[in-house]
Each structure stands twice: as C-alpha cells, then as structure tokens.
C-alpha cells in the first residue's frame, strides 16, 4: 500500500463514528481527508453528496494514485461516488483534461445536490469560481444558527452561497438577509433557496460590505483621500437579532480592504453596531497565522471600546473531519452574546 493510501485508510478509520453521526443528521457533505494534518500536505478529499471532490494545492496527483484513492473511498463507504479532480496547484488547473480520468464523467459535472443538516445544497464540481459552493468547515456554525434562529431577524454577511442564511430559514428565523457583492454567489444562494421549497423566502442584498454595513450601523461612508466613490445600494439604519460575520482573509474593493490580519476591527465594529441589544454576533477568522487567543482579545477589546461589551463568548470549533494536531484550527469562530 502506498503511503498516501495508508494515510487515507487511517483518516477514514478516524471518521467512523463521525460519519454515522452525520448520516443520521442528514449530512452527506464532509471532508474525508484533510491532507495538511493527515499526512499529505496540499491534498483535500471531500464528499459532496454523490460526488467525490479531490483537490490538490501543491503537487498534481498522478492518474494511478487518483484512481486508487477513489476506489478505496468507494469501497470504504459502500457507495459509487463520482470523481471530480481539481488541481489548484498552479493557480488554475493545468492538468491534461483530454484524459478521461482528469476530465471527469459528464454525470459528475452536472448540477448535483448535497445535503447538510437535512437541507439541500447545490453542488457543482466545476464552475466559474475556484472554491466548492459550500465551505465544509463552517458546518457546525450553520448547525448552531439552525438551532438558535427561531423567531429572529438574521443578517448573513459575506454570504457567499447563503448556507448560513438557509440554515437560519430552516431554524424558523422570521427574516433572513444575505449580503454579498458577488452576483454569481448570491445566484447560487437563490438556487439553494429553491432547492428547499418548504422554507420561507430569504432576502438578498448585492452590495459591497463597507457601504452596506456602515449604513446599517448608522456610520458615515468615508471616501479615501477624497476620491469619488462608486454608486452603492442605499440602506436604512437598522439592527438584526443574529448576525454572522465570516469574511474572506483578504479582499480589496473601491470601498475598503478586508484584511483579517491587520484590521479585523473595521469589519467588526459596524457589525457589532448592527447587532441588536441582547442579540448574537457570530464572527469568524479563517487566517491560520492569527491565534485564537490574540484574535479573541482583539474582538473583546473592540466590543468594549465601542460600548457593546460581550456578555458571553463561546468558541465553536469545526467538526472532527477538520482535525488539527495543535488544536488551533485555521477557522476560528466566536459566538458573542451582546
Ligand atoms: C470566504 S467567502 C465567505 C464564506 C461564507 N461566509 C459562507 O458561509 O460560506 C467570501 C465571500 O465574501 C465576498 N466578499 C469579498 N469581499 C467583499 C466585499 N468587500 N463586500 C461584499 N462581499 C465581499 C465574496 O464574494 C465571497 O462570497
């Protein structure tokens, strides 16, 4: 057995009880191999419903290795998952897609449906973006939101494909609003809504974060060095009972820079002000080099400074399909009761 297959076999064994639990709760989207922590840095293997998504970030996988791990996983799960391999080791994939294995079967590339916490999600092995349409390490946060959204107004910031919004709707939120500047991501969010027709409709705001959150928070929108700002959606000042702030590590727009290393505060402050008294703000930081202790101190200090002290702060960790040897998972999540 190759060392990769050996590492995979250990990873699958370690997930035995988790998979039983996930299947029982209506989840068939999860990580089967988290290479950086399980013996093959730069390789991830995820199940998305009927699809097995293999991704490499450092080195391309050769054909035989790919076929061997596909066969081993299907045998272990007793399923016939359809393989999609996306090599992201050189920016965009450069593997030879004339090869049938690398190309993937047509059926594997169709619009498919995966499930999490009993909800249906659009799954697409290849699409205009690089990332899969559902970030699996946020599953526990979506579960928390589903369990705590009843009767609440919910604002999902940096909504991507609106998984958190969908979870809130499923949990009985009275209102759900998803905000993101990327039309394509919100379009998948709308699809996710349609895939769950029993749920109430969600709201969508297509806007840059900075002008939107500052208007909601009642803060002025500053232009940088007197430069004229592009037009932006007008919003009334208001607060929500439950707010989710899960930004990307870094992104620049005409209105500001999302920078989780150097300036979390400029994202956090308006989000705190947009959270109602006695409300909850769930905030995340997915940058591995930021430690939980430092970041939590920063968050709590910022809340104190703007007069919205945190009454209770709970740490939420990703599921055990995202193991971390040092107990410091890159995705850090805090549930702040204000
Ligand atoms: C890492 S994803 C967030 C994941 C998401 N919270 C989830 O539940 O899966 C980053 C998202 O932020 C959006 N984004 C990045 N910069 C933005 C900005 N300045 N304003 C609004 N959305 C932004 C991107 O379009 C993308 O959908």
pLDDT digits (tens, 9 = 90+) for 215-273: 999 999 977 667 788 999 999 999 999 999 999 999 999 999 999 999 999 999 999 99
Any idea how long the chain is? 338
Residue spans of alpha helices (H) in the chain: 3-14, 16-24, 35-38, 63-77, 100-103, 106-109, 139-148, 163-170, 183-194, 209-217, 265-273, 292-305
Q: Is 105 helix (H, G, I), strand (E, B) or coil?
A: coil
CA–CA dist 220, 210 (Å, integer): 10
Q: Rounded to an integer, what is the distance from CA 281 to the centroid of its chain?
A: 16
Which atom number of ligand 1 is nearest to the Cα of residue 208? 20
All domains of the chain in start order, with CATH: 3-114 (3.30.750.80), 136-337 (3.40.50.150)
Query: Which two three-digit tokens encode residue 140?
Result: 């526990």
Q: Rounded to an integer, what is the distance from CA 265 to the centroid of its chain?
A: 21
CA–CA dist 331, 254 (Å, integer): 27
DSSP string, 202-238: PEEEE--HHHHHHHHHT---PPGGGPPPPP-------
Cβ atoms within 10 Å of 44's Cβ, excluding its own: 22
CA of 16 to the centre of ligand 1 (A): 33
According to the model, what pLDDT value does residue 107 have?
Answer: 95
pLDDT in tens, 119-163: 999 999 999 988 999 999 999 999 999 999 999 999 999 999 999
Does the C-beta of 185 come closer than 6 Å to ligand 1? yes
- The answer, yes or no, to whether residue 42 has pLDDT greater than 60, is yes
Q: Say whether pTM exceeds 0.75.
A: yes
Cβ atoms within 10 Å of 61's Cβ, excluding its own: 22
Does the C-beta of 181 come closer than 6 Å to ligand 1? yes
- The partner residues of 55 in beta bridges, in order of sequence, read 44, 86
Does the C-beta of 203 come closer than 6 Å to ligand 1? no
Inter-CA distances, 166 with 84, 120, 133, 157, Å = 26, 9, 13, 13
Rounded average pLDDT over 101-116:
94
pLDDT in tens, 50-82: 999 999 999 899 999 999 999 999 999 999 999
CA–CA dist 319, 136 (Å, integer): 9
Residue 329 binned pLDDT confidence (cut-offs 50, 70, 90) = very high
Does the C-beta of 246 come closer than 6 Å to ligand 1? yes
According to the model, what pLDDT value does residue 94 have?
Answer: 57
Residue 95 binned pLDDT confidence (cut-offs 50, 70, 90) = low
Does the C-beta of 253 come closer than 6 Å to ligand 1? yes
Q: Pick from 327, 124, 322, 336: which is nearest to 243 by CA?
A: 336
According to the model, what pLDDT value does residue 97 have?
Answer: 74
Which atom number of ligand 1 is nearest to the Cα of residue 161? 9
pLDDT in tens, 154-196: 999 999 999 999 999 999 999 999 999 999 999 999 999 999 9
Residue 276 contacts residue 174 (beta carbons within 8 Å): no
Question: What count of Cα atoms within 13 Å lies in the side-chain half-sphere of residue 151?
Answer: 1
Ligand 1 pocket mutation, candidates 122, 137, 160, criterion most atoms within 8 A of CB: 160
User: What is the pLDDT of the chain when averaged over all its residues?
Assistant: 95
């Amino acid at each position: 057995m190759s060392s990769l297959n050996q590492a995979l076999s250990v990873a699958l064994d370690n997930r035995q009880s988790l998979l039983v639990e996930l299947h029982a709760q209506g989840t068939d989207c999860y990580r089967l191999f988290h290479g950086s922590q399980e013996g093959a840095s730069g390789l991830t293997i995820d199940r998305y419903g009927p699809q097995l998504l293999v991704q490499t970030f450092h080195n391309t996988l050769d054909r035989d290795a790919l076929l061997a791990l596909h066969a081993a996983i299907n045998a272990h799960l007793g399923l016939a998952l359809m393989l999609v391999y996306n090599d992201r080791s050189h920016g965009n994939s450069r593997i030879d897609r004339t090869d049938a294995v690398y190309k993937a079967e047509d059926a594997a590339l169709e619009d498919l449906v995966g499930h999490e916490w009993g909800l249906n999600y659009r799954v697409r092995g290849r699409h205009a973006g690089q990332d899969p349409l559902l970030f699996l390490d946020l599953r526990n946060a979506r579960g928390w939101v589903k369990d705590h959204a009843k009767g609440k107004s919910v604002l999902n910031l940096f909504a991507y494909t609106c998984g958190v919004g969908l979870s809130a709707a499923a949990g009985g939120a009275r209102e759900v609003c998803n905000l993101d500047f990327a039309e394509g991501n919100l379009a998948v969010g709308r699809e996710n809504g349609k895939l769950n027709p029993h749920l109430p409709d969600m709201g969508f705001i297509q806007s840059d974060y900075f002008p939107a959150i500052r208007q909601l928070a009642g803060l002025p929108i500053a232009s940088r060095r007197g430069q004229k700002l592009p037009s932006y959606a007008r919003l009334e000042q208001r607060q929500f009972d439950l707010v989710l702030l899960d930004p990307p590590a870094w992104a620049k727009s005409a209105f500001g820079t999302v920078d989780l290393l150097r300036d979390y505060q400029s994202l956090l402050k308006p989000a705190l002000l947009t959270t109602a008294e006695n409300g909850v703000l769930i905030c995340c930081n997915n940058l591995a080099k930021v430690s939980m202790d430092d970041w939590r101190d920063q968050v709590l200090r910022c809340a104190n400074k703007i007069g919205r002290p945190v009454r209770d702060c709970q740490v939420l960790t990703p599921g055990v399909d995202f193991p971390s040897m040092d107990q410091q998972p890159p995705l850090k999540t805090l549930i702040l009761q204000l």
